[in-house]
A and B are shown apart, each in its own frame.
Chain A
Amino acid sequence: MDLVINKKKYSVNVTPEDTLLNVLRNDLDLTGTKYGCGEGSCGACTVLINGVAIRSCITKATSVEGKDITTIEGLAGNGKLHPVQQAFLDVDVFQCSYCASGMVMSTVSLLKKKPEPTEEEIITGMQGNVCRCGTYPRIIRGIHEAVKIQKS
């Protein structure tokens, strides 16, 4: 089966029960996407399918065949960070950073839907992503910063 990840085609051998997360991490060594809970409840494994955030730990690899998959590794281009990555770096958001990939991907998806989200829309949009270090207020600041970067 072929998967299109970060605009690149990968041939993989998968069984029907293989999750996208395991294929990304174990077969393709795209380990920026993290395992956190295995039930779609923490957001660490968030990737984009056709631009929309999904939880790769509860998504079967076979179900995304032929779709446009974007992982954290595919965001930066031409030596330039994605505005969301740059914003999170500028605000110096993270502590342990294990949630970072998922937070970045969820934010990219959120800003696609709502380029200038309100505080409430951010909270609703990001509620499924856990940062156990509790940096939420900084992430929100980072999202506002990303909006600014994207506008300029």
Chain B
Amino acid sequence: MERKPHEAGFAPEQYELAEMPSYSFTMNRRNFFGILGSGIAITFAAVNSSFGLSADGLPEDQIGAWLHIGEDGAVTIYSGKAEVGQNIRTSLAQVVAEELGVPMEKITMILGDTTLTPYDRGTFGSRSTPYMGPQLRKAAASARELILDLAATEWKTERSLLSINDGNVMNRDTKQAANIGKIVKGKQLVQGVDEKVALKKIDDWKIAGTSVKKVNGESFVTGRHKYVSDMKLPGMLYGKILRAPAYGATLVSADTSSAKKMTGVVVVYDGNFIGVAASDLSTANKALQSIKAEWKFEPQPSRKEIFDHLRKKSTTDDRAKKSGDVSAAFSNAEVRAGQTFNVDYIAHVPLEPRAGVAQWEGGKLTVWTGTQRPFGVQEDLAEVFQMPKQNIRVIQPDTGSGYGGKHTGEAGIEAARLAKEAGKPVKVVWTREEEFTWAYFRPAGVIDVKAGADKNGILTAWEFHNYNSGGSGIETPYEVKNTLIQFHPSDSPLRQGSYRGLAATANNFARESIMDDLAAELKIDPLEFRLKNLSEQRMKDVLEAAAKAFAWGAKPEKDHGFGIACGEEKGSYVAACAEIVFDRNENDVKVLRAAVAFECGGIINPNHLENQIMGSIVQGLGGALFEWIDFKDGKILNPKFSAYRVPRFGDVPKLEIVMLNRKDLAPAGAGETPIIGIAPAVRNAIANATGKRLYTLPLVPQGLEV
């Protein structure tokens, strides 16, 4: 079998957007209502009169979704988005409940199912809230208007007297009322979304904008929710895959004869794929261990030479952003700073490793897998098995997190290959070591920055080159006349791809570190220096809010330091202040407290937003302080929890989170941007405490030598 990982050295942003949209809708009107029962349905697809749903040519940024209202008043929403812990199952339902005027419990969200939901490119890039959210609001509002039309006709009354509240249509004058289910009874109406429909003002929100609890929360605290790794189908086998001993190793030959002799063991040796399946996991493991494989090794760069390697192998992206004359401005600057930053590979470490269950039935394939891109996995399967997408269904049950790390569907593809051979369903769950080694990493990178300012603290020159880690957040939010900003793709020896916030973490880290270096040279307060060079009011607002919550301006105690940083990405703004203490005896840095201000437009669910910000800070602290992937000769040297340190209870500082609610602005995504402020804030606090200016991520994986 030809494996088709997305590892061809894409820069992460290109990687995220590499998948072209396509459409495969297998449901027509008759079976739609056949399955769901009569009622009304709202769709985004350009519906033709016959409802054949020839939605080819759906614009790239158009997200399909369905909304169905049944005769019992139940509202079902179909969206191809994936729930991986960001709680969109709750927040998207909230905006629908709000626009439609129905209680939350009446809403069911069907997510991530290639047969039931319309095409969606994937859940990444903080797009669910700003793109899917408004679409669902419009769909719900369109449904609301349609129901009001129907009620007005039926009741022979003035439509303007009617409104929907708590799931009931009511006539303001006569008090005549009926559940919306009653209004749609016996209908089979389909209507496209009205793009111009009036939406409720964020100021008037009663359900959206409030802290509705995670909708299926109880199934998680009781352990009832079935993640893919928990699934069990009748007759299901457990699969294991033979992995290469190192990156760059290719299979020369293998002897699978002992495995084949084991009772009930299915062996697949197809191209460079070798896998086994058995009715219990320990037999599968024994079968795998019995395989003798010969590998050919290629020399691979190790961690100690990775930064030279990335620079050496880089090419120049022609999308450089230039203005003025940066080299002249740098030479003429009264104050200068120039540094090279090194950023290590880190791992997502989703607590649920990759898992897939596959079942073939009469030439049709169903795969359950924890992925952020169910439709992408469907395309991968179609290519791998050379079969039409219509015969493949990918289902993504709520998944044990992703953080950008589950755009692929390896475990599902592997399970499908084994299931095809076995003629029975097969489950493949990656071990932690497999997840650490063969998932993909946040890219390592090298960043060169040269910056200059005049003696009044006005930036005059800004040159910024990022090698390999990516172009997200590469631009500076500060006003500078002379700039050269460039991303240089390179050759990554390890698999790399998206990670929460993409390269914005690395780029923001480098930029905000240099800003502090300049402020120190200028002897200007770092907050004042930033405000002086910013024109974007939203950025100034978060900076000032974080500074206020932190009580910025006070003097730290001995061996303590304060740091500040800010950033913008994907339409939302973050600023972070941090206090660290340096333990001179242990050479250890501890982050004591942080104040983080975040603004992402109007807030849909304050409690869940705060949770996302908090999670971003905590996860960001890992990459800031100690997370790194160590590797040598193609082998990952720390592929386990006991060797790869992730933040734990004891690593969490005292947190103060300030959420600025801009009800005048459309909601933006919030799962990523809050991660980008903490690393530079901590770095600047370390410099403030010790005088030591660090230029690496992680900052202090082995403590700090001063």
Contact = CB atoms under 8 A, between A and B. Distances in A.
Contact of A92 (B230, B607, B649): B607
B617 interface: yes
Contact of B214 (A36, A42, A92, A122): A92
B649 A97 contact: no
Nearest to B227: A98
Interface stretch (B344-352, B489-497, B521-529): B344-352
Given A37-B640, A98-B351, A130-B641, A71 B223 contact: yes
Given A42-B351, A122-B649, A123-B650, A81 B222 contact: yes
B221 A133 contact: no
Contact of B352 (A71, A98, A140): A98
Given A39-B640, A72-B222, A133-B85, A127 B614 contact: no
Contacts of A139: 649
B220 A136 contact: no
Contacts of B87: 95
A73 B238 contact: no
Contacts of A51: none
Interface in A33-57: 33-39, 41-42, 44
Residue among B86, B616, B641, B655 facing the most chain A CB atoms (10 A cut-off) = B641
A100 interface: yes
A105 to B, nearest CB: 9
Contacts of A15: 282
B87 to A, nearest CB: 6
B401 interface: yes
**Chain A interface category by residue count:** 35 or more
B648 A32 contact: no
B121 to A, nearest CB: 21
Nearest to A22: B281
B213 interface: yes
A22 B427 CA distance: 14
A37 B655 CA distance: 28
Contact of A101 (B214, B223, B403, B652): B223
Contact of A41 (B400, B618, B640): B640
Given A41-B641, A81-B222, A132-B351, A25 B650 contact: no
Nearest to B642: A41
Contacts of A132: 349-351, 401, 403, 619, 646
A109 interface: no
B432 interface: yes
B649 A123 contact: yes
B225 interface: yes
Contact of A130 (B229, B351, B617): B351
Contact of B229 (A35, A95, A123, A135): A35
B281 A88 contact: no
Nearest to A104: B221
Nearest to B617: A134
A26 B427 CA distance: 11
Contact of B351 (A39, A71, A96): A96
B334 to A, nearest CB: 42
A72 B351 CA distance: 17
A100 B648 contact: no
Interface in B626-657: 640-642, 646-650, 652, 655
Contacts of B433: 38
Interface string A108-152: 000000000000001110111111111111111000000000000
A18 B281 CA distance: 10
Contacts of A32: 222-224
A76 interface: yes
A94 B214 contact: yes
A89 interface: yes
A99 B400 CA distance: 8
A44 B220 CA distance: 13
Contact of B225 (A17, A29, A76, A97): A97
A152 B84 CA distance: 35
With most chain A CB atoms within 10 A of its CB, the pick from B220, B431, B607, B648 is: B220
Given A35-B429, A126-B649, A94 B217 contact: yes
Given A92-B607, A137-B614, A72 B223 contact: yes
Contact of A134 (B218, B229, B429, B647): B647
B161 to A, nearest CB: 38
A44 B351 contact: yes
Interface string B606-628: 01100110111111000000000
A17 B351 contact: no
Contacts of B86: 95
Contacts of A72: 222-223
A16 B291 CA distance: 23
Most A CB atoms within 10 A — which of B223, B225, B608? Answer: B223
A29 to B, nearest CB: 6
Interface in A60-77: 71-73, 75-76
Nearest to A26: B281
A143 B226 CA distance: 25
A88 B223 CA distance: 13
Contacts of B232: 26, 29, 31
B211 interface: yes
A80 to B, nearest CB: 11
B308 interface: no
B405 to A, nearest CB: 10
A34 to B, nearest CB: 7
A17 B221 contact: no
A17 B348 CA distance: 30
B371 interface: no
Contacts of B351: 34, 36, 42, 44, 96, 98-99, 130-132
B399 interface: yes
B406 to A, nearest CB: 11
B280 interface: yes
A15 to B, nearest CB: 7
A36 B644 CA distance: 14
Contact of A95 (B85, B222, B432): B85
A97 B398 CA distance: 10
Contacts of A135: 611, 614-615, 618
Nearest to B399: A96
Contacts of B229: 31, 34-35
Contacts of B398: 96
Nearest to B436: A37
A134 B229 CA distance: 22
A12 to B, nearest CB: 12
Given A89-B217, A132-B351, A140-B649, A39 B641 contact: yes
B348 to A, nearest CB: 8
B263 to A, nearest CB: 15
A36 B432 contact: yes
A39 B611 contact: no
15 contacts: A31-B226, A32-B223, A34-B352, A36-B353, A39-B432, A71-B223, A85-B218, A89-B217, A92-B211, A92-B607, A95-B612, A100-B220, A100-B221, A101-B223, A130-B641
The 10 tightest CB contacts between A and B, nearest first, are A32-B223, A96-B85, A134-B618, A98-B400, A31-B230, A97-B220, A72-B223, A95-B85, A41-B641, A96-B401
Given A92-B211, A98-B227, 19 more contacts: A15-B282, A33-B223, A37-B640, A38-B432, A38-B433, A42-B351, A73-B222, A81-B222, A92-B213, A96-B398, A98-B85, A100-B220, A104-B221, A124-B650, A128-B648, A133-B619, A134-B614, A137-B614, A138-B611
